[in-house]
Amino acid sequence: MKRTTRNAAKTRQEIIEKSAPLFNVHGYEGTKMQMIVETTGYQMGGIYRHFGTKKALAKEVFRYNYQLLKNSYVAGVHEDQPPREQLLQLLHNLKTTFFAPTLVGGCPILNTAIEADDTDKDFRVLASDGLDELVGIVEKILEKGKKEGDFKSTINPTQEALYLMTTVEGLIMVAKLKRSGKVLTAIFERFASYIEENILS
């Protein structure tokens, strides 16, 4: 029984991982079940047996893609680091993500928000919750840095964290539209300058 459960969990995870690029590139509506069948190698009946509906699979795929995105943002950021180092590491990770996206199709939060904004509350909530978590991570760093003197005493951590992460999403959108290294460099340098001028002490 335990082995069967483990095999089912392994199959389920494999379907999620192989489907992840499809949903991130084509979106929920654009990803057809036949595409999932061809990509995963599993029959439609087997996929439905593990997830019940295409929407249930899409939700799990979003959570998987979001976790990959989050991991790429916070890589090398540790609790015992000074807040200044944490923020600079985060900035480095964001730059890396801009020029070499971790996920095929780009940011799942942005992609999902654009597709589901007015059409599907469930996906909109998933994207919103993901953004809120990232904002919370930055806010925590800013709060600690403000207390320890790494950042300006005048900053509002809550407002700055929200501004920084929503700016990041905007930069990602421009990056997808322009697909130009020169444009990416220019907008990222301005973003980095904002942090230097308005946050770092």
Q: Kindly state the tokens that stand for 13.
A: 């995870």
97-110 tens-digit pLDDT: 877 778 899 899 99
DSSP string, 100-166: S-SSTTS-HHHHHHHHHTTT-HHHHHHHHHHHHHHHHHHHHHHHHHHHHTSB-TT--HHHHHHHHHH
68-95 tens-digit pLDDT: 999 999 999 999 999 999 999 999 998 8
| Domain segments of the chain as ranges | 59-198
Q: Give residue 173's pLDDT band: very low, low, confident or very high (50, 70, 90).
A: confident
Q: Say if residue 127's pLDDT is above 50.
A: yes
2-16, 66-80, 163-177 — most confident range: 66-80
Task: Return mean pLDDT, the chain.
Answer: 91
CATH superfamily of 59-198: Tetracycline Repressor, domain 2 (1.10.357.10)
**What is the rounded distance in angstroms from the CA atom of residue 22 to the CA atom of residue 143?**
38
The whole model's pTM is what?
0.91
- Least trusted range by pLDDT, from 10-14, 108-112, 142-146, 187-191: 187-191
- Number of alpha carbons in the 13 Å side-chain half-sphere of residue 77: 21
**What is the rounded distance in angstroms from the CA atom of residue 200 to the CA atom of residue 54?**
46
**What is the rounded distance in angstroms from the CA atom of residue 127 to the CA atom of residue 110?**
8
What pLDDT does 186 receive? 86
What would the mean pLDDT of 181-187 be, rounded to a whole number? 81
Q: Give residue 1's pLDDT band: very low, low, confident or very high (50, 70, 90).
A: very low
